[in-house]
Amino acid sequence: MATIRKRNDRWQVQIRRKDAPFISRSFVRKAEALAWAREMDIEADRGLLQSDPRTLQRITLGELLNRYKDEISIDKGAAETETIFISNLQEHPLASKSLATVKASDFAKYRDERLTCVSGSTVNRHLCIIQHAYEIAVKEWGLPIKENPVKLIRKPKNNPPRNRRLRTGEYERLLCSAEQSRNKLVKPIIIIAVETAMRRGEILNIRMNDIDLNTNHLWIPKTKTGVPRTIPLSSMALDAILSVRNDGSDGNDRIFPLTPNAFRLAWERVKKRTKIDDLHFHDLRHEAVSRLFEQGLGIAHVAAISGHRDFRMLARYTHVHHSIA
């Protein structure tokens, strides 16, 4: 609210609002002072008052991203991935720069630095997180950011989509290697990936309560796209789940109580024993989707199982590879 007081035969109006500069003006007539005060209050309520630029000097990029992680990332399907990225970025000098001083050139330098050690697709994903954080800061948090600096820089080219499928004998070698693993959850996870086309995170979040043993269907409530789905379980997939059925006695009702990093390390050890270097775990999803098409399923049916929302993304899976295991 505006404060109005008479001083030296003039009416003085003072406007104080959080994150906005202090405004003061004097009038000869009280009616003019009241009218101006009402106008300023209305503009303040609409967020039209010029924000205090000192606000951006008090907030670092790291602090902005931490708030984004706690309030925005937490509701995303990729929450864990975004959390890891934001936590790692806190160690970079860029995170300590204030929002008032960080420039597009800083992000261009960061882009070029990251391209020396990770792919263009990875850099783009990370830049998108930062860019979205800026957008949220302006639209929802009211920070006086005039221009999104990440939007101003060139984005690297994304990697071409992978079309890697299992070659003859590789599936058996992977399962044999997983059998030797100290972690007995790895083998059934590999089987489920090939049988269901589920993503890693979806598999690690399977709970026994999500399985209908009468119809052999699995309910996936949390997906990358945010759209829950139900998928059929083959006999091999169901056997893999039941082979390690978790009774919840450890306080965790997930069938595969592993962290993504723990599984990643176990998967890398399995590959190392098989000497298969060019295979990603996500390639098993490509393998599974391709097999569904080879079974004669249509695009709509496959999309319902795999969770692809854009049928065009499934076009590259329709090729048939006759040398699969």
Per-residue pLDDT of 241-267, as tens digits, reads: 998 875 444 556 889 999 888 999 999
Percent of the chain whose predicted confidence (pLDDT) is above 70:
89
Tokens in use for 225? 């796209």
In a domain, 118, yes or no: yes
CB neighbour list of residue 84: distance below 8 Å, 6 or more residues apart: none
- Which listed residue (10, 97, 308, 321) is catalytic? 308
pLDDT tens string 78-92: 778 899 899 999 999
Chosen domain end from 18, 33, 51? 51
What is the extent of the structural domain holding 189?
170-317
- Which listed residue (69, 165, 199, 291) is catalytic? 199
Count of residues for the chain? 325
Distance from C-alpha of 241 to C-alpha of 256, rounded to nearest angstrom: 9
Query: 5: which strand partners?
Result: 12
312 is catalytic: no
pLDDT tens string 273-308: 999 988 999 999 999 999 999 888 888 899 899 888
Number of domain units in the chain? 3
Does 221 lie in the same domain as 309? Answer: yes
317 is catalytic: yes
The DSSP secondary structure of 136-161, one letter per residue, reads HHHHTS-----S-GGGGSPPPPPPPP
Span 212-227, average pLDDT: 89
In a domain, 157, yes or no: no
Does 126 lie in the same domain as 183? Answer: no
132 is catalytic: no
- Which listed residue (132, 224, 229, 269) is catalytic? 224
92 is catalytic: no
- Which listed residue (282, 301, 309, 316) is catalytic? 282
Does 68 lie in the same domain as 21? Answer: no
- Which listed residue (200, 285, 286, 291) is catalytic? 285
Task: Label residue 202 exposed, middle or buried (CB < 10 Å: 0-12, 13-18, 19+).
Answer: buried
Does 29 lie in the same domain as 133? Answer: no
Task: Label residue 269 exposed, middle or buried (CB < 10 Å: 0-12, 13-18, 19+).
Answer: middle
In a domain, 233, yes or no: yes
In a domain, 323, yes or no: no
| Cβ–Cβ < 8 Å for 49, 66 | no
Between residues 198 and 40, which one has the greater pLDDT? 198
Distance from C-alpha of 292 to C-alpha of 17, rounded to nearest angstrom: 60
Does 224 lie in the same domain as 297? Answer: yes
In a domain, 164, yes or no: no
- Which listed residue (68, 110, 134, 317) is catalytic? 317
CB neighbour list of residue 156: distance below 8 Å, 6 or more residues apart: 111, 115, 120, 123, 124
Chosen domain end from 152, 185, 200? 152
CATH at residue 287: 1.10.443.10
Strands (E), 32-127: none
CATH at residue 132: 1.10.150.130
54 is catalytic: no
Distance from C-alpha of 266 to C-alpha of 260, rounded to nearest angstrom: 10
Does 196 lie in the same domain as 245? Answer: yes
In a domain, 244, yes or no: yes
Q: Which of 15-24, 32-41, 107-116, 314-323 has the highest mean pLDDT?
A: 107-116
Does 303 lie in the same domain as 176? Answer: yes
Does 212 lie in the same domain as 306? Answer: yes
